[in-house]
């Protein structure tokens, strides 16, 4: 019986330690994650609030909002995770979400798409539309 109890206690410590680590936002990225077709669902499932910037290297408006996305990722570390999806290299996800214009920012809360922001916009407008989902 003692051996069984030790195993139970060890497993309980492992489980509670793992759930704390998974629930902790201290290790969240402070910069946009590179998101691909392969990693997209994992990112959406891992974090409660994710903003995915759908962009392409040739897109001038995409390059205009990139620094804003990077700043927001730093400022909202631990609250919002930002990702960047190159639509030229990851067409399956772009098609799945009907990305017809770029930049498009997809806002996911608790694994659900809650907002689609299309086009470049000033930082204040972008920040306000994203942070209302906190």
Burial annotation 64-94 (CB, 10 A radius, 16+ → b, else e): ebbebbbebbeebbeebbbbbbbbeebeebb
Catalytic one among 44, 50, 52, 62?
A: 62
CA–CA gap between residue 92 and residue 43 (Å, rounded): 16
Give catalytic status of residue 62 as yes or no.
yes
Identified catalytic residue from 59, 102, 121, 126? 59
Active site residue 54: no
Find the distance separating the first CA and the last CA of the chain, reported in whole Å.
48
Query: How far is the CA of 60 from the CAs of 11, 19, 57, 81, 91, in angstroms?
Result: 52, 42, 8, 23, 19
> Minimal CA–CA distance to 130: which of 59, 61, 81?
81
**Residues acting as catalytic residues:** 59, 62
């Amino acid at each position: 019986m003692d051996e069984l109890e030790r195993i139970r206690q060890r497993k309980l410590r492992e489980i509670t330690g793992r759930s704390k680590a998974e629930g902790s936002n201290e290790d969240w990225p402070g910069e946009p994650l590179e998101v691909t077709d392969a990693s997209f669902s994992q990112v959406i499932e891992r974090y409660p609030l994710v903003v995915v910037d759908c962009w392409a290297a040739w897109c001038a408006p995409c390059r205009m909002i990139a620094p804003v996305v990077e700043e927001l990722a730093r400022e909202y570390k631990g609250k919002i995770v930002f990702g960047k999806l190159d639509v030229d290299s990851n067409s399956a996800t772009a098609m799945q979400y009907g990305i017809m214009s770029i930049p498009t920012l997809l806002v996911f809360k608790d694994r659900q798409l809650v907002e689609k922001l299309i086009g470049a916009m000033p930082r204040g407008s972008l920040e306000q539309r994203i942070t209302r989902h906190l």
